[in-house]
Amino acid sequence: MDSSIRTGTPALLAAAVEKDSLAPDVELFLQSLDLTAAERLAVVESLPAFQYALKDGNGVQTVQAYGWRWG
């Protein structure tokens, strides 16, 4: 996965953060990761809620719910 991150893709994702979660440039970024269908689905299912949580200032609680305390 590391080597599949294409030059310039980070900038595309950064630009997409303020847009709808699955804007075309986010789609492009996900394509660059060479995900399987299951991996892509997991991201697509969780990303919108995470983006809204960040926007509403609830990012900490969301990350906590996914278990950083188990790190």
Partner 1 sequence: MTPAAVPAGPQHSDDRLKALAAIVGNEVHRQTTASGLPVHLREIAISRAGQSGARTGPGVIAVLPLAVYEAVSGQEPFHAAPAGAAMSLLIAAGDLLDDLQDNDVRPEDVGGATGAAEMMAVLLALSNNALHAGQQEIGLSAARLGRATGLLASLQLRALGGQADDVTLSGLDDFKLEDALKATLRKSGGLGRCAAMLGAAVATDDDALIDTAGRFGENLGVARQLLNDIAGVIPGGPPSTDIALGRKTAPIAFALSVDEAVNPAAGRVRSALSGTPEQRTLNSEDIRRDIQEAGGVSYAWILARVHATRARQAALELCRAHPAKDPSWLIEMA
23 binding partner 1? (CB under 8 A): no
Of 22, 23, 28, 33, the one binding partner 1 by CB under 8 A: 33
Q: Which residues contact 34 (CB under 8 A, 6 or more apart)?
A: 1, 4
- CB contact set of 50 (below 8 Å; sequence gap of 6+): 59, 62
By CB under 8 A, residue 48 contacts partner 1: no
- Contact criterion met (CB below 8 Å) for 17 and 49: no
Residue numbers at the binding site for partner 1 (CB under 8 A):
1-3, 5, 10-11, 13-17, 29-30, 33, 35, 38-39, 42-43, 46-47, 50-51, 54, 57, 59-60, 63-64, 66-71
